[in-house]
């Protein structure tokens, strides 16, 4: 029996204990893999603080859903590193999307208006717009509203929502699509 086999069995035991709420087992799992998880995340995102957040999110997911580990799909180490990798890729995609939005906004010109009264007039309508959005969100079915709130107010990706809720990624995507269609329709009506 190689040294990797007892370590793998020990890791599986730790995950089972974490599933039972054992904080010491969680701490041991964290101390075993946090540094390698951080190195993986850093290699992908190139920002130490972002890598640290990714590792924390990944281990929080382990604490919340240790039953997601499936020994038939690989070792605990592979599962943990896969979780970190997926979260890091999501972070990179979010950062790239944010950069594109900033670049597009810059390409459209200065955010400052020529006439400062335009800003005042736009601000007058904000309470009305906020109320329209609140009303449209309230009319969504609960499962669609939950997905939208997690995406746009909690800043989560669809993958993160699927992981947090235990829903298949396809279900999260379809709920998002349906919710966005309903919101677009409702908000389009409210603007008229």
Residue that is last in its domain, among 111, 140, 167: 111
Residue 138: domain span: 113-192
Domain check: are 10 and 83 in the same one? yes
Domain check: are 77 and 137 in the same one? no
Domain check: are 73 and 87 in the same one? yes
| Angle of helix 142-152 versus helix 116-138 axis, rounded to 10 | 140
- The predicted-structure confidence for 143-175, as pLDDT tens digits, reads as follows 988 888 888 777 788 888 898 889 888 898 888
What predicted TM-score, i.e. pTM, was given to this entire model? 0.54
Residue that is last in its domain, among 111, 137, 167: 111
Task: Categorize the per-residue pLDDT at 22 as very low, low, confident or very high, splitting at 50, 70 and 90.
Answer: very high
User: By C-alpha distance, which of 79, 95, 80 is closest to 44?
Assistant: 95
In the predicted model, what is the mean pLDDT of the chain? 83
Interatomic CA distance for residues 153 and 176, integer angstroms: 14
Task: Categorize the per-residue pLDDT at 1 as very low, low, confident or very high, splitting at 50, 70 and 90.
Answer: very low
Give yes or no for a contact between 157 and 93, defined as CB atoms under 8 angstroms apart: yes
Domain check: are 172 and 103 in the same one? no
The pLDDT score that the predictor gives to residue 149 is: 83
Please count the structural domains in the chain.
2
- The predicted-structure confidence for 88-117, as pLDDT tens digits, reads as follows 999 999 888 888 877 777 676 545 445 454
Interatomic CA distance for residues 69 and 66, integer angstroms: 6
Residue that is last in its domain, among 72, 90, 111: 111
Interatomic CA distance for residues 91 and 97, integer angstroms: 10
């Amino acid at each position: 029996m190689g040294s990797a086999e007892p370590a793998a069995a020990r890791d599986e035991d730790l995950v089972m204990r974490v599933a039972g709420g054992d904080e010491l087992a969680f701490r041991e799992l964290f101390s075993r893999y946090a540094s390698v998880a951080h190195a993986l995340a850093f290699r992908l995102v190139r920002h130490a603080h972002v890598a640290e957040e990714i590792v924390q999110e990944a281990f929080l997911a382990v604490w919340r859903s240790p039953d997601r580990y499936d020994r038939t799909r690989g070792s605990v180490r592979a599962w943990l590193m896969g979780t970190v990798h997926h979260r890091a890729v999501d972070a990179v995609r979010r950062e790239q999307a944010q950069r594109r939005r900033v670049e597009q906004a810059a390409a459209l010109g200065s955010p400052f208006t020529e006439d400062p009264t335009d800003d005042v007039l736009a601000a007058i309508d904000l309470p009305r717009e906020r109320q329209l959005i609140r009303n449209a969100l309230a009319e969504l079915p609960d499962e669609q509203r939950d997905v939208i709130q997690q995406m746009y107010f909690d800043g989560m990706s669809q993958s993160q929502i699927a992981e947090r809720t235990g829903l298949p990624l396809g279900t999260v995507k379809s709920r998002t699509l349906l919710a966005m269609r309903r919101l677009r329709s409702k908000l389009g009506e409210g603007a008229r």
